[in-house]
Amino acid sequence: MDANEAWVILDTTPQGPGMRSYIAVWGALIVLTATTVAVAGFNLQKIAIIVCLSIAAIKSSLVLFYFMHLRHERRLIIKLLVPIAMATLAIFIGLTFSDVITR
């Protein structure tokens, strides 16, 4: 066994998604973007913002899990990342509302 074969055996990095997965996610993102544009054209009153934000959340989760490779990360990183992202979002929303209230 030479050094290169030993390195391949010891290499424990997880394999990422294949090209088919990337193309499928890209297609899903295109379809979801078209859906967002179509929903914006309808007169859905107050439900439109909920539908558009839901589609945006789905699109962002696809990007996070597939293109940023969080799908193959350890669960500890995910458990740390989600609360930090939610806290950051809460701070941004809180600062925005405090600015609007003081005007």
pLDDT tens figures, 53-70: 899 999 998 998 888 877
Which sign does the torsion angle of CA 39, 43, 47, 48 carry? Answer: positive
Distance in angstroms (rounded) separating the CA atoms of residues 9 and 21? 26
pLDDT tens figures, 8-62: 555 555 566 678 888 999 999 999 999 999 998 888 888 888 888 899 999 998 9
pTM value surpassing 0.75: no
| Cβ atoms of residues 67 and 25 within 8 Å | yes
